[in-house]
Amino acid sequence: MNRLITVLLLMVSVPVFAQPHGCPIGTQLEGRYLASKGKGYLPNTLKISPTNDGDAFQFDLQAFWSPKPNNDGSATTQGVFTGEIQVRWCVGHYVSEDRACFLVFNMAQNKIKVTSFGECSYGHNAYPDATYVKQHGK
């Protein structure tokens, strides 16, 4: 099982999405990112903050799912993922022991693509998988 997870992480971690010269580094990575799901739906949000370790970043990812646009929130599911990622070669990894969830963060220019493996859903369809775009001035 561990070998399969390692192979999957390596396959996704190959910086195909991330371009070597477009990889944000250091404080360039810090900020607020949004993943739009279409008009009337709440976007997923991702906040990246630096830590005291130069290659480590704190993240706060909130994933939303609604059955229809312009929902009043009564049927919306929210998933919250927080933790620390080490960034190497435009790729960050996160493993949540309690949820057996693996997140891979591929960084390129002003975007971060998040891919999940394992039990990474909260409730009904609130997955973190998306391409997040940095919001300027945030």
* pLDDT at residue 86, as a whole number: 87
Count of H helices and E strands in the chain?
1, 8
Per the structure, how many domains does the chain have?
1
* pLDDT at residue 53, as a whole number: 73
Predicted confidence pLDDT, tens digits, the chain (138 residues): 544 444 444 444 444 444 455 777 767 888 999 999 888 888 999 999 988 876 789 999 999 888 778 766 667 788 889 999 988 888 999 998 776 899 999 999 899 999 999 988 776 788 899 999 999 764
* pLDDT at residue 77, as a whole number: 84
CATH number at residue 52: 2.40.128
Cα dihedral across residues 127, 133, 134, 136: positive or negative: negative
Q: Which domain holds residue 17?
A: 2-134
Nearest CA among 23, 14, 3, 10 for reference residue 112: 23
pTM tops 0.95: no
Task: Output the DSSP codes for 93-117.
Answer: EEEETTTTEEEEEEEETTEEEEEEE
